[in-house]
Chains A and B, each alone.
Chain A
Amino acid sequence: MSSPRRVSDNAVPAMPGPLKISDYHVVARPRLGRWISGALIIAILAMIGYAFATGKIEWEYFWQFMTVPTILAGVANTVLLAVLAMIIGVVLGTVFAIMRGSDNPIMRSVAFGYIWLFRGTPVLLQLMLWYNLALVFPTVGIPGVWSMRMIDLMSPFWAALLGLGLNQGAYTAEVIRAGLLSVDTGQYEAAKTIGMTRLKALRRIVLPQAMRVVIPPLGNEFILLVKTTSLASVIQFSEVMYNAGTIYYSNARVVELLFVAGAWYLILVSFLTLFQIPLERHFAKGSLSR
C-alpha cells in the first residue's frame, strides 16, 4: 500500500511499438509531382534538342569556327577589355564610394554627380559619344607643347575601355558603398582610438571587412560586364561578337557563328564563377564558419 509509486510504470501507458525511429523502417512518401515534372522537362528538352539537331544548323561549322584565329583573337580582346574595364571600375568605384562618405561636401557632390551621370545614361550611348569625341574636340594636348588628333587617339579600344570603365565605376561605387555601410561603426571608432587616420582605417580595417559583403555582387557586375563588352562591336572594336560578325558577313553562317560567340561567353563566365570561390574564402578570414 505505502510502497513508493513507480512513476514510469504508472504515468506512461504501454507504448504501441519501439521508442526509436531507427528501430522502424521509414517508408518514403510518394513524390508523384517530381516524377511528372521531371518527365515533362525531359520531354521538352528532347523536343528542343531535336529541333536544333534537325534544323538548318551546320554543326560542323560551329565546331570548326570555335577555334579559328579570328574568333580566338576576339575572345582575347573581350577578356582584355572586360578585365581592364573592371579594374578601372573597381578603382574608380572605391574612390567614389569613399568620396560619397566624406565629410567634405565638395567631394560628396562630385561623387554623387559622377554616379548620377554615368548610371543615368545608356552605356551604348556613352560608348558612341567617346568614339565620336573627335567631332567635339578635333585635337587634344597642351597648346604649344604637344597636341594630337583626337581621331587617332580615340581608337575603338580606348573609346570602349573609357566608356565601359567609367560606367562600371559608377555601378561599382554603389556596391562598395553598400559594403562600407555594412561595417559596424564601432570598427571605425576602434581604429580611430588606436590613432588611425580616416584613410588608414578604411584601408586596413573597414575595406577588408567590406570585401566579404562586396565580392558576390562584384562577381555579378563582372559577369554583366563580360557580356556588355559585346556593345563595343558597335564602335568597331574587334571583340568576339564583332569578329563573329566579320566572318558571317562573308560566309552567311549567321546562327552558327552566333552560337560560337555564345559558347565562348558561357565558357568565360563559368571560369569567372569558379574564380570567385577562393576569393570569397580569402576575405572570410576570421568569420564564424572557420
Chain B
Amino acid sequence: MTAADLARPEGGQPLLRICNVTKKFQDYVALDDVSLSVSKGEVVCLIGGSGSGKTTLLRCINQLHDINDGTIWLEDELVGYRQDGLKLYPLTEKETIRQRLKSGMVFQRFNLFPHMTALQNITEGPVQVLKTPRQVAEATAMKLLERVGLATKASSYPSQLSGGQQQRVAIARALAMNPKIMLFDEPTSALDPELVGEVLAVMRELAHSGMTMVVVTHELGFAREVADRVVFMDRGVIVEEGPASEVLVSPREARTQAFISAVIG
C-alpha cells in the first residue's frame, strides 16, 4: 500500500468510511476487521445482539475509544491522527475536539446535565465551545426545542422531564453543535414503551431532513421504514448488510435470521 492509497479511501466520497477497524479491550476483540461506509444523507441502522460491538463502533467513530488497527475517515479526514506520508501523529486535544464535533452522539441513557435546564443543556456547547454569543445560541436552542416538540419545556430541569422528553432534549443538544453525522446508541431502549414513538418521530423527521445518521436500534419497524441500509453485527463482525427490505425481510445469513426472529418474538 502506498501513501496515496492511505490518503484517499478508494471509491466515491462517503462522509464516513470505516476501514478494517479492530478494537480490543485487553485481549478481548470487540471489533474484528470491521469495514463500513456511509454516504452523505444516508441512514444506516446497526442491529445485533448484546455484546456484538455496536456501541463500541459508535464510540470509535467519535473517539471516545482509540482503535487498535484499521482507519476511520470522516469527510476524507483521518480520525485521530494527522498524517504525513506514512507517519501518523496523534492529534492534540484541540484538534481531536474539532474532529469530534463533526459527529453528534445520542446516548441510551440521555446523559443530560442534571444541574442545567433543557435550554441550558442545549446552549452549553455552542456558548462554551463554539463561543456563540449567548443570545444567538438561545434563539437557536429555542428553534431546536420547537423542532423536537418541547418549546414549553425550555426552563425545566431534566429531573422534571419524562424519559422521552429528556431524549428529545439530548437530540436537540447534539444538533446544536451542527454535526455532519448523528450517531444514536439505542436511543429508545431505556424508555417506557409508550414514550418510544415520540423519540422515533423526531428521528424520522431528522432523517427526512437529509441528516446522515448511524442508528443502533432494536426497533426493527423503524429500521424498515427509515433506514437506507441495515447492518447486522455479531461478535465484533459485520455479518450482513444491505437494504432494509432484504436484511430484515429475507436475510441470507442464519445468524441474522435467528436474531430477527428472536427480536420479533
Contact = CB atoms under 8 A, between A and B. Distances in A.
A196 B127 CA distance: 11
B114 interface: yes
B242 to A, nearest CB: 30
Contacts of B174: 193-194
Contacts of A209: 113-115
B159 A195 contact: no
B93 A195 contact: no
Interface in B134-189: 157-160, 170, 173-174, 176-177
A195 B125 contact: yes
A198 B159 contact: no
B160 A290 contact: yes
A285 B64 contact: no
B109 interface: yes
Which size class do A's interface residues fall under? 20 to 34
Contact of A186 (B100, B103, B107, B130): B107
A285 B100 contact: no
A204 B124 contact: yes
A192 B160 CA distance: 24
B236 interface: no
A6 to B, nearest CB: 39
Interface string B13-54: 000000000000000000000000000000000000000000
B159 A287 contact: yes
A209 B111 CA distance: 13
A190 B157 CA distance: 16
Given A187-B111, A286-B116, A290-B160, A194 B93 contact: no
Contacts of A190: 105, 107, 111-113, 170
Contacts of A205: 113
Interface centre among B62, B104, B124 (most CB of A within 10 A): B124
A192 B173 CA distance: 13
Interface in B71-107: 93-94, 97, 100-101, 103-105, 107
Nearest to A196: B129
B158 A286 contact: yes
Given A186-B109, A189-B111, A204-B124, A197 B173 contact: no
A208 interface: yes
A193 to B, nearest CB: 4
Nearest to A200: B128
Nearest to A189: B64
A76 B109 CA distance: 51
A288 interface: yes
A283 B111 CA distance: 19
B179 to A, nearest CB: 9
Given A204-B124, A290-B159, A290-B160, A194 B107 contact: no
Interface in A276-290: 283, 285-288, 290
A193 B62 contact: yes
Contacts of A196: 97, 125, 128-129
Contacts of B107: 186, 189-190
Nearest to A289: B159
A288 B64 contact: no
B111 A194 contact: no
Nearest to A190: B111
A218 B62 CA distance: 37
A155 B111 CA distance: 51
A254 B22 CA distance: 77
Contacts of B62: 193
Interface string A32-61: 000000000000000000000000000000
Given A186-B109, A189-B64, A194-B177, A286 B125 contact: no
Interface centre among A193, A205, A208 (most CB of B within 10 A): A193
Given A189-B64, A192-B100, A193-B104, 13 more contacts: A189-B111, A190-B107, A194-B124, A195-B100, A195-B125, A195-B130, A196-B125, A196-B128, A209-B114, A286-B114, A286-B159, A287-B114, A288-B159
Interface of B: 62, 64, 93-94, 97, 100-101, 103-105, 107, 109, 111-117, 124-125, 128-130, 157-160, 170, 173-174, 176-177
11 contacts: A189-B111, A193-B103, A193-B105, A194-B173, A195-B97, A195-B100, A197-B97, A200-B128, A204-B124, A285-B115, A290-B157
**Closest A-B pairs by Cβ, 4 of them:** A194-B125, A286-B157, A190-B111, A195-B129
